[in-house]
Structure 1
Amino acid sequence: MTTPQPPALDLLWRGEFGDRELDALHAAAFGGAGAPGGASTPWRARLERHSLGWVCARPARGGPLLGFVNVLWDGGVHAFLLDTAVDPAARRSGIGTRLVAAAADNARAAGCDWLHVDFEPHLRGYYLDACGFRPTDAGLLRL
Structure 2
Amino acid sequence: MTITYEWRGDFDNTAVNALHVAGLNRQASNVDWLGQVHRHRLVAEAARQARTAKCKWLHVDFEDDLQPFYFDACGFQPTAAGLIAL
TM-score band by shorter chain is: 0.5 to 0.7
Gaps of 5+ in 2: 1-17, 21-31
Residue 120 (structure 1) aligned with residue 68 (structure 2) = no
Q: Which residue of 2 aligns with 1:91?
A: 35
Question: How big is the alpha-carbon RMSD for the aligned residues of Structure 1 and Structure 2?
Answer: 2.0
- Give the secondary structure class of the aligned counterpart of 2:71: helix
Q: State, as a whole percentage, how many aligned pairs show the same letter.
A: 53
Q: Which residue of 1 aligns with 2:49?
A: 106
Paired AA for residue 117 in structure 1: V
Residue 141 (structure 1) aligned with residue 84 (structure 2) = yes
Partners of 1:114 and 1:97 in 2: how far apart? 18
Gaps of 5+ in 1: 4-87
Question: Offset of 1:118 from its aligned partner?
Answer: 1.1
Question: What's the TM-score once normalised by structure 2's chain length?
Answer: 0.57
Q: Which has the larger radius of gyration?
A: 2
Partners of 2:84 and 2:64 in 1: how far apart? 17
Question: Offset of 1:139 from its aligned partner?
Answer: 2.0
- Give the secondary structure class of the aligned counterpart of 2:68: helix
Partners of 2:61 and 2:46 in 1: how far apart? 15
- Give the secondary structure class of the aligned counterpart of 1:116: coil
